[in-house]
Structure 1
Amino acid sequence: MNLDTDGDVEMAMPQPVFEVVQAPRLSAWDQPSLILWVRQRRQYEAKIRNRCAVTNEQYEHVVTSIRNSIEPRILDHLARFILKKRPTEVTDEDLGLAITRRCSTLQNNHIPDMDKLFQDKLKMDLKIEDTEARILNYFVLFDQIVEDHGLGGILGSGREDEPNYDERMKLRCKYLLKNIAPEMLRLEMERLVITKPVLKKDDIALCEALVERAREQQHYHMLTQELKHGEKTRAQSKGSPVNTKRPANPKSTAQQTASPIGKHPEGAKPSKFPKNNADPRAHRHVMAVCCAAVRIG
Protein backbone atom coordinates (compact mmCIF):
# COMPACT_ATOMS: atom_id res chain seq x y z
CA MET A 1 0.00 0.00 0.00
CA ASN A 2 1.57 3.25 -1.14
CA LEU A 3 0.99 6.62 0.48
CA ASP A 4 1.25 10.02 -1.12
CA THR A 5 2.90 13.09 0.44
CA ASP A 6 -0.26 13.88 2.43
CA GLY A 7 -0.43 10.38 3.85
CA ASP A 8 -3.42 9.30 1.75
CA VAL A 9 -3.56 5.91 0.11
CA GLU A 10 -2.79 5.98 -3.61
CA MET A 11 -5.45 4.16 -5.62
CA ALA A 12 -4.21 1.66 -8.18
CA MET A 13 -7.19 2.49 -10.41
CA PRO A 14 -9.00 5.83 -10.65
CA GLN A 15 -12.22 5.97 -8.67
CA PRO A 16 -15.19 6.09 -11.08
CA VAL A 17 -17.33 9.20 -10.85
CA PHE A 18 -21.08 8.86 -11.45
CA GLU A 19 -23.71 11.52 -11.84
CA VAL A 20 -26.50 11.63 -9.34
CA VAL A 21 -29.37 9.71 -10.90
CA GLN A 22 -32.75 10.38 -9.35
CA ALA A 23 -35.73 8.15 -9.88
CA PRO A 24 -38.67 9.81 -11.68
CA ARG A 25 -41.64 10.68 -9.49
CA LEU A 26 -45.20 9.62 -10.31
CA SER A 27 -47.63 12.30 -9.16
CA ALA A 28 -50.68 11.63 -11.38
CA TRP A 29 -52.68 8.63 -12.58
CA ASP A 30 -53.77 9.91 -15.99
CA GLN A 31 -52.59 7.92 -18.97
CA PRO A 32 -50.22 10.51 -20.53
CA SER A 33 -48.46 10.99 -17.17
CA LEU A 34 -48.13 7.23 -16.72
CA ILE A 35 -46.71 6.74 -20.22
CA LEU A 36 -44.14 9.48 -19.64
CA TRP A 37 -43.22 8.03 -16.24
CA VAL A 38 -42.75 4.54 -17.73
CA ARG A 39 -40.29 5.90 -20.31
CA GLN A 40 -38.35 7.83 -17.70
CA ARG A 41 -38.32 4.79 -15.42
CA ARG A 42 -36.79 2.64 -18.17
CA GLN A 43 -34.00 5.15 -18.67
CA TYR A 44 -33.41 5.38 -14.93
CA GLU A 45 -33.20 1.61 -14.48
CA ALA A 46 -30.81 1.30 -17.44
CA LYS A 47 -28.45 3.88 -15.90
CA ILE A 48 -28.51 2.10 -12.54
CA ARG A 49 -27.75 -1.25 -14.18
CA ASN A 50 -24.79 0.26 -16.03
CA ARG A 51 -23.50 1.72 -12.79
CA CYS A 52 -23.80 -1.60 -10.97
CA ALA A 53 -21.97 -3.35 -13.80
CA VAL A 54 -18.96 -1.09 -13.17
CA THR A 55 -19.01 -0.88 -9.37
CA ASN A 56 -20.23 -4.45 -8.67
CA GLU A 57 -22.99 -3.05 -6.46
CA GLN A 58 -26.21 -4.93 -5.88
CA TYR A 59 -28.90 -3.55 -8.19
CA GLU A 60 -31.63 -4.11 -5.60
CA HIS A 61 -29.66 -2.08 -3.04
CA VAL A 62 -29.14 0.88 -5.36
CA VAL A 63 -32.33 1.26 -7.37
CA THR A 64 -35.25 3.21 -5.94
CA SER A 65 -38.34 1.03 -5.70
CA ILE A 66 -41.51 1.84 -7.61
CA ARG A 67 -43.32 2.15 -4.32
CA ASN A 68 -40.98 4.90 -3.13
CA SER A 69 -41.25 6.67 -6.50
CA ILE A 70 -45.01 7.27 -6.21
CA GLU A 71 -46.51 10.19 -4.37
CA PRO A 72 -48.06 9.03 -1.06
CA ARG A 73 -51.56 10.21 -1.97
CA ILE A 74 -51.42 8.34 -5.29
CA LEU A 75 -50.11 5.24 -3.54
CA ASP A 76 -52.95 5.32 -1.01
CA HIS A 77 -55.47 5.70 -3.83
CA LEU A 78 -54.02 2.75 -5.75
CA ALA A 79 -53.91 0.54 -2.68
CA ARG A 80 -57.47 1.30 -1.58
CA PHE A 81 -59.49 1.60 -4.80
CA ILE A 82 -57.54 -0.35 -7.44
CA LEU A 83 -55.43 -2.98 -5.69
CA LYS A 84 -57.81 -3.21 -2.70
CA LYS A 85 -54.95 -3.72 -0.29
CA ARG A 86 -53.43 -1.88 2.60
CA PRO A 87 -50.67 0.52 1.58
CA THR A 88 -48.15 -1.48 3.61
CA GLU A 89 -49.04 -4.66 1.69
CA VAL A 90 -48.58 -3.21 -1.80
CA THR A 91 -45.46 -4.49 -3.60
CA ASP A 92 -43.52 -3.23 -6.61
CA GLU A 93 -44.87 -6.11 -8.64
CA ASP A 94 -48.46 -5.08 -7.87
CA LEU A 95 -47.76 -1.49 -8.85
CA GLY A 96 -45.87 -2.45 -12.01
CA LEU A 97 -48.72 -4.64 -13.24
CA ALA A 98 -51.31 -1.96 -12.49
CA ILE A 99 -49.33 0.70 -14.35
CA THR A 100 -48.69 -1.58 -17.34
CA ARG A 101 -52.36 -2.49 -17.52
CA ARG A 102 -53.35 1.17 -17.38
CA CYS A 103 -50.94 2.17 -20.14
CA SER A 104 -52.00 -0.70 -22.41
CA THR A 105 -55.73 -0.02 -22.29
CA LEU A 106 -57.68 2.51 -24.31
CA GLN A 107 -58.39 5.78 -22.60
CA ASN A 108 -62.09 5.92 -21.70
CA ASN A 109 -62.53 2.73 -23.78
CA HIS A 110 -62.52 4.90 -26.89
CA ILE A 111 -61.03 3.36 -30.03
CA PRO A 112 -59.70 6.16 -32.26
CA ASP A 113 -59.81 6.18 -36.04
CA MET A 114 -56.53 4.30 -36.43
CA ASP A 115 -56.39 4.75 -40.22
CA LYS A 116 -56.44 8.53 -39.84
CA LEU A 117 -54.25 8.43 -36.73
CA PHE A 118 -51.36 6.67 -38.46
CA GLN A 119 -51.89 8.54 -41.71
CA ASP A 120 -51.42 11.84 -39.87
CA LYS A 121 -48.65 10.87 -37.44
CA LEU A 122 -46.70 7.95 -38.95
CA LYS A 123 -44.32 9.46 -41.49
CA MET A 124 -41.13 7.97 -42.87
CA ASP A 125 -38.33 10.54 -42.73
CA LEU A 126 -36.93 10.48 -46.27
CA LYS A 127 -34.23 12.99 -45.32
CA ILE A 128 -32.34 10.15 -43.61
CA GLU A 129 -30.16 8.66 -46.36
CA ASP A 130 -29.09 5.67 -44.25
CA THR A 131 -31.91 3.26 -45.07
CA GLU A 132 -31.39 1.06 -42.01
CA ALA A 133 -31.57 4.08 -39.69
CA ARG A 134 -34.60 5.37 -41.58
CA ILE A 135 -36.52 2.10 -41.16
CA LEU A 136 -35.52 1.85 -37.49
CA ASN A 137 -36.78 5.39 -36.89
CA TYR A 138 -40.04 4.44 -38.66
CA PHE A 139 -40.66 1.44 -36.38
CA VAL A 140 -39.71 3.40 -33.24
CA LEU A 141 -42.16 6.14 -34.19
CA PHE A 142 -44.87 3.53 -34.71
CA ASP A 143 -44.37 2.09 -31.21
CA GLN A 144 -44.33 5.58 -29.73
CA ILE A 145 -47.70 6.37 -31.32
CA VAL A 146 -49.05 3.08 -29.99
CA GLU A 147 -47.89 3.92 -26.46
CA ASP A 148 -49.10 7.52 -26.54
CA HIS A 149 -52.64 6.46 -27.43
CA GLY A 150 -52.92 3.39 -25.21
CA LEU A 151 -53.04 0.99 -28.14
CA GLY A 152 -50.62 -1.51 -26.63
CA GLY A 153 -53.35 -4.09 -26.12
CA ILE A 154 -54.26 -3.87 -29.82
CA LEU A 155 -51.00 -3.07 -31.60
CA GLY A 156 -48.27 -3.73 -29.03
CA SER A 157 -45.58 -6.32 -29.77
CA GLY A 158 -45.84 -8.10 -26.41
CA ARG A 159 -44.90 -11.74 -25.92
CA GLU A 160 -45.57 -14.64 -28.25
CA ASP A 161 -47.29 -16.69 -25.54
CA GLU A 162 -50.03 -14.09 -25.07
CA PRO A 163 -53.48 -15.13 -26.37
CA ASN A 164 -54.00 -12.32 -28.93
CA TYR A 165 -50.40 -12.15 -30.16
CA ASP A 166 -51.20 -13.22 -33.75
CA GLU A 167 -54.02 -10.68 -34.13
CA ARG A 168 -51.81 -7.88 -32.85
CA MET A 169 -49.04 -8.82 -35.28
CA LYS A 170 -51.42 -8.75 -38.24
CA LEU A 171 -52.66 -5.28 -37.30
CA ARG A 172 -49.12 -4.02 -36.69
CA CYS A 173 -47.94 -5.22 -40.09
CA LYS A 174 -51.05 -3.80 -41.76
CA TYR A 175 -50.44 -0.23 -40.59
CA LEU A 176 -46.68 -0.48 -41.01
CA LEU A 177 -47.15 -1.50 -44.64
CA LYS A 178 -49.86 1.05 -45.30
CA ASN A 179 -47.78 4.11 -44.43
CA ILE A 180 -44.47 3.26 -46.11
CA ALA A 181 -42.86 6.01 -48.18
CA PRO A 182 -41.96 6.75 -50.91
CA GLU A 183 -44.81 5.47 -53.05
CA MET A 184 -42.55 3.24 -55.15
CA LEU A 185 -41.26 1.42 -52.06
CA ARG A 186 -44.77 0.96 -50.67
CA LEU A 187 -45.97 -0.48 -53.98
CA GLU A 188 -43.05 -2.89 -54.13
CA MET A 189 -43.67 -4.09 -50.56
CA GLU A 190 -47.37 -4.64 -51.27
CA ARG A 191 -46.44 -6.87 -54.20
CA LEU A 192 -43.78 -8.66 -52.19
CA VAL A 193 -46.33 -9.51 -49.50
CA ILE A 194 -48.30 -11.49 -52.08
CA THR A 195 -45.37 -13.84 -52.63
CA LYS A 196 -44.30 -13.83 -48.96
CA PRO A 197 -47.42 -13.93 -46.75
CA VAL A 198 -45.27 -14.15 -43.61
CA LEU A 199 -44.66 -10.41 -43.94
CA LYS A 200 -48.32 -9.85 -43.04
CA LYS A 201 -47.94 -11.34 -39.56
CA ASP A 202 -44.28 -11.01 -38.58
CA ASP A 203 -43.02 -7.48 -37.97
CA ILE A 204 -39.40 -8.68 -37.67
CA ALA A 205 -39.48 -10.29 -41.11
CA LEU A 206 -41.24 -7.19 -42.43
CA CYS A 207 -38.52 -4.94 -41.04
CA GLU A 208 -35.75 -7.02 -42.62
CA ALA A 209 -37.46 -7.11 -46.02
CA LEU A 210 -38.17 -3.39 -45.85
CA VAL A 211 -34.54 -2.56 -45.10
CA GLU A 212 -33.36 -4.72 -48.01
CA ARG A 213 -35.75 -3.22 -50.55
CA ALA A 214 -35.22 0.33 -49.33
CA ARG A 215 -31.44 -0.12 -49.59
CA GLU A 216 -31.75 -1.25 -53.22
CA GLN A 217 -34.02 1.63 -54.17
CA GLN A 218 -31.79 4.15 -52.41
CA HIS A 219 -28.78 2.76 -54.28
CA TYR A 220 -30.39 3.20 -57.70
CA HIS A 221 -31.75 6.60 -56.71
CA MET A 222 -28.25 7.82 -55.84
CA LEU A 223 -26.87 6.40 -59.12
CA THR A 224 -29.56 8.26 -61.05
CA GLN A 225 -28.73 11.51 -59.28
CA GLU A 226 -25.04 11.06 -60.02
CA LEU A 227 -25.72 10.44 -63.73
CA LYS A 228 -27.94 13.52 -63.99
CA HIS A 229 -25.33 15.64 -62.25
CA GLY A 230 -22.61 14.31 -64.58
CA GLU A 231 -24.61 15.11 -67.70
CA LYS A 232 -25.32 18.60 -66.45
CA THR A 233 -21.66 19.19 -65.67
CA ARG A 234 -20.56 18.01 -69.13
CA ALA A 235 -23.12 20.23 -70.82
CA GLN A 236 -21.89 23.25 -68.88
CA SER A 237 -18.24 22.49 -69.68
CA LYS A 238 -18.96 22.44 -73.45
CA GLY A 239 -20.67 25.79 -73.25
CA SER A 240 -24.24 26.79 -74.03
CA PRO A 241 -25.11 27.00 -77.80
CA VAL A 242 -25.44 30.48 -79.30
CA ASN A 243 -28.91 31.46 -80.44
CA THR A 244 -28.54 32.11 -84.22
CA LYS A 245 -32.20 32.35 -85.08
CA ARG A 246 -33.22 35.54 -86.95
CA PRO A 247 -36.25 37.51 -85.88
CA ALA A 248 -39.51 36.27 -87.35
CA ASN A 249 -40.29 39.58 -89.07
CA PRO A 250 -37.29 41.92 -89.17
CA LYS A 251 -39.17 44.49 -91.27
CA SER A 252 -41.85 44.89 -88.69
CA THR A 253 -39.20 45.04 -85.98
CA ALA A 254 -37.36 47.82 -87.81
CA GLN A 255 -40.59 49.71 -88.35
CA GLN A 256 -41.34 49.46 -84.63
CA THR A 257 -37.91 50.70 -83.58
CA ALA A 258 -37.52 53.41 -86.26
CA SER A 259 -39.51 56.63 -86.06
CA PRO A 260 -39.08 58.60 -89.36
CA ILE A 261 -40.14 62.19 -89.42
CA GLY A 262 -43.35 62.97 -91.21
CA LYS A 263 -44.64 59.44 -91.31
CA HIS A 264 -48.38 59.12 -90.96
CA PRO A 265 -49.82 57.03 -88.18
CA GLU A 266 -50.62 53.43 -89.04
CA GLY A 267 -54.03 53.07 -90.70
CA ALA A 268 -54.39 56.82 -91.39
CA LYS A 269 -54.60 58.05 -95.02
CA PRO A 270 -52.77 61.23 -96.06
CA SER A 271 -55.05 64.19 -96.90
CA LYS A 272 -55.13 65.50 -100.48
CA PHE A 273 -55.75 69.04 -99.33
CA PRO A 274 -54.52 70.98 -96.42
CA LYS A 275 -56.55 70.97 -93.28
CA ASN A 276 -58.93 73.79 -92.43
CA ASN A 277 -56.45 75.38 -90.09
CA ALA A 278 -53.67 75.36 -92.77
CA ASP A 279 -52.16 78.53 -94.26
CA PRO A 280 -54.72 80.09 -96.79
CA ARG A 281 -51.87 81.20 -99.10
CA ALA A 282 -50.73 77.64 -99.53
CA HIS A 283 -54.30 76.66 -100.34
CA ARG A 284 -54.57 79.32 -103.08
CA HIS A 285 -51.23 78.22 -104.52
CA VAL A 286 -52.42 74.66 -104.82
CA MET A 287 -55.64 75.77 -106.56
CA ALA A 288 -53.67 77.90 -109.06
CA VAL A 289 -51.40 75.01 -109.97
CA CYS A 290 -54.41 72.77 -110.54
CA CYS A 291 -56.14 75.32 -112.84
CA ALA A 292 -52.96 75.82 -114.90
CA ALA A 293 -52.65 72.11 -115.39
CA VAL A 294 -56.24 71.96 -116.66
CA ARG A 295 -55.64 74.74 -119.21
CA ILE A 296 -52.49 73.15 -120.51
CA GLY A 297 -54.24 69.88 -120.95
Structure 2
Amino acid sequence: MPGFTVDVDVDPQPIYEVIRPPELSSWEHAALIEWEREWERYAEKIRDRCTTTGETFDNVVATVKGSVKPKTLPNLAIYVLKRVVASVTDADILSAVKARSHADVSNAVQAVSSEEQFP
Protein backbone atom coordinates (compact mmCIF):
# COMPACT_ATOMS: atom_id res chain seq x y z
CA MET A 1 0.00 0.00 0.00
CA PRO A 2 1.68 3.26 -1.06
CA GLY A 3 2.35 5.75 1.73
CA PHE A 4 2.06 3.11 4.44
CA THR A 5 5.20 2.65 6.51
CA VAL A 6 6.17 0.56 9.50
CA ASP A 7 8.93 1.07 12.00
CA VAL A 8 11.49 -1.46 13.28
CA ASP A 9 8.92 -3.10 15.57
CA VAL A 10 6.49 -3.42 12.63
CA ASP A 11 4.12 -0.90 14.21
CA PRO A 12 2.23 1.08 11.58
CA GLN A 13 3.13 4.75 11.45
CA PRO A 14 0.40 7.33 10.94
CA ILE A 15 0.29 8.95 7.53
CA TYR A 16 -0.52 12.32 9.09
CA GLU A 17 -0.71 13.74 12.58
CA VAL A 18 -3.87 14.93 14.30
CA ILE A 19 -4.01 18.71 14.02
CA ARG A 20 -6.32 20.34 16.55
CA PRO A 21 -7.58 23.91 16.20
CA PRO A 22 -6.72 26.42 18.93
CA GLU A 23 -9.48 27.11 21.45
CA LEU A 24 -10.67 30.67 21.97
CA SER A 25 -11.43 30.87 25.67
CA SER A 26 -11.01 34.54 26.56
CA TRP A 27 -11.81 37.96 25.11
CA GLU A 28 -8.70 39.56 26.61
CA HIS A 29 -6.45 41.37 24.16
CA ALA A 30 -3.40 39.15 24.70
CA ALA A 31 -5.49 35.99 24.41
CA LEU A 32 -7.02 37.21 21.13
CA ILE A 33 -3.64 37.99 19.62
CA GLU A 34 -2.33 34.56 20.63
CA TRP A 35 -5.46 32.81 19.33
CA GLU A 36 -5.31 34.64 16.00
CA ARG A 37 -1.65 33.68 15.59
CA GLU A 38 -2.38 30.04 16.48
CA TRP A 39 -5.40 29.98 14.15
CA GLU A 40 -3.21 31.11 11.23
CA ARG A 41 -0.69 28.37 12.05
CA TYR A 42 -3.49 25.81 12.27
CA ALA A 43 -4.95 26.89 8.91
CA GLU A 44 -1.50 26.72 7.30
CA LYS A 45 -0.94 23.19 8.62
CA ILE A 46 -4.33 22.13 7.26
CA ARG A 47 -3.53 23.69 3.86
CA ASP A 48 -0.24 21.77 3.79
CA ARG A 49 -2.05 18.56 4.69
CA CYS A 50 -4.60 19.17 1.93
CA THR A 51 -1.89 19.65 -0.70
CA THR A 52 -0.34 16.35 0.38
CA THR A 53 -3.51 14.28 0.66
CA GLY A 54 -5.62 15.95 -2.04
CA GLU A 55 -8.44 16.75 0.40
CA THR A 56 -10.52 19.91 0.13
CA PHE A 57 -9.57 22.59 2.69
CA ASP A 58 -13.18 23.49 3.55
CA ASN A 59 -13.99 19.85 4.27
CA VAL A 60 -11.03 19.38 6.62
CA VAL A 61 -10.65 22.65 8.53
CA ALA A 62 -12.54 23.09 11.81
CA THR A 63 -15.04 25.91 12.10
CA VAL A 64 -14.09 29.05 13.96
CA LYS A 65 -17.37 28.87 15.85
CA GLY A 66 -16.55 25.32 16.89
CA SER A 67 -13.17 26.38 18.24
CA VAL A 68 -14.68 28.93 20.63
CA LYS A 69 -15.00 27.55 24.15
CA PRO A 70 -18.66 26.69 24.91
CA LYS A 71 -18.78 29.07 27.90
CA THR A 72 -17.27 31.91 25.85
CA LEU A 73 -19.49 31.61 22.76
CA PRO A 74 -22.76 32.91 24.31
CA ASN A 75 -20.98 35.91 25.84
CA LEU A 76 -19.24 36.66 22.56
CA ALA A 77 -22.48 36.38 20.60
CA ILE A 78 -24.68 38.43 22.94
CA TYR A 79 -22.37 41.14 24.24
CA VAL A 80 -19.86 41.61 21.42
CA LEU A 81 -21.71 40.67 18.24
CA LYS A 82 -25.20 41.59 19.56
CA ARG A 83 -26.73 38.43 18.08
CA VAL A 84 -28.16 35.12 19.13
CA VAL A 85 -25.67 32.26 19.13
CA ALA A 86 -27.40 30.40 16.28
CA SER A 87 -26.95 33.31 13.85
CA VAL A 88 -23.21 33.84 14.49
CA THR A 89 -20.94 32.80 11.61
CA ASP A 90 -17.22 32.09 11.38
CA ALA A 91 -16.69 35.34 9.50
CA ASP A 92 -18.43 37.31 12.28
CA ILE A 93 -16.14 35.85 14.93
CA LEU A 94 -12.97 36.33 12.87
CA SER A 95 -13.81 39.96 12.06
CA ALA A 96 -14.61 40.70 15.73
CA VAL A 97 -11.35 39.11 16.88
CA LYS A 98 -9.32 41.04 14.30
CA ALA A 99 -11.09 44.31 15.08
CA ARG A 100 -10.51 43.95 18.83
CA SER A 101 -6.90 42.79 18.63
CA HIS A 102 -5.87 45.43 16.09
CA ALA A 103 -7.94 48.26 17.65
CA ASP A 104 -6.15 48.08 20.99
CA VAL A 105 -2.77 48.29 19.27
CA SER A 106 -3.89 51.30 17.21
CA ASN A 107 -5.23 53.08 20.29
CA ALA A 108 -2.02 52.46 22.22
CA VAL A 109 0.13 53.82 19.39
CA GLN A 110 -2.13 56.85 19.02
CA ALA A 111 -2.01 57.55 22.77
CA VAL A 112 1.78 57.44 22.82
CA SER A 113 2.16 59.65 19.77
CA SER A 114 -0.37 62.22 20.99
CA GLU A 115 1.30 62.75 24.38
CA GLU A 116 3.06 66.04 24.77
CA GLN A 117 6.81 66.08 24.40
CA PHE A 118 9.08 66.67 27.37
CA PRO A 119 9.96 70.39 27.85
**What TM-score, normalized by structure 2, do the two folds share?**
0.78
Matched to 2:70, the amino acid is P
Give me the whole-angstrom Cα distance separating, in 1, the residues matched to 2:67 and 2:25. 9
| Gapped regions of structure 1 (runs ≥ 5) | 1-10, 115-297
Determine the structure 2 residue equivalent to 1:67.
65
RMSD over aligned Cα atoms: 1.7
Determine the structure 2 residue equivalent to 1:17.
15
Give me the whole-angstrom Cα distance separating, in 1, the residues matched to 2:53 and 2:41. 19
Determine the structure 1 residue equivalent to 2:54.
56
Q: 1:167-246 alignment to 2 at 5 Å?
A: none
What are the superposed Cα offsets for residues 137-170 of structure 1, whole Å, 9 maximum, x if unpaired?
Answer: xxxxxxxxxxxxxxxxxxxxxxxxxxxxxxxxxx
Matched to 1:17, the amino acid is I
| Gapped regions of structure 2 (runs ≥ 5) | 5-13, 114-119
Matched to 1:68, the amino acid is G
Sequence identity (%): 35
What are the superposed Cα offsets for residues 117-151 of structure 1, whole Å, 9 maximum, x if unpaired?
Answer: xxxxxxxxxxxxxxxxxxxxxxxxxxxxxxxxxxx
CA apart distance, 1:14: 1.8
Where 2:35 maps in the other structure, the secondary structure is helix
Matched to 1:97, the amino acid is S
- Greater relative contact order structure (CA < 8 Å, 6+ sep): 2
Q: How many residues align?
A: 102
Q: Conserved in 1, the CA contact under 8 Å of 2:65 and 2:93?
A: yes
Give me the whole-angstrom Cα distance separating, in 2, the residues matched to 1:36 and 1:83. 20
Q: 1:70-219 alignment to 2 at 5 Å?
A: 70-106=68-104, 109-110=107-108, 111-113=110-112
Matched to 1:20, the amino acid is V
Matched to 1:14, the amino acid is G
Where 1:28 maps in the other structure, the secondary structure is coil
Where 2:19 maps in the other structure, the secondary structure is coil
CA apart distance, 1:84: 1.4
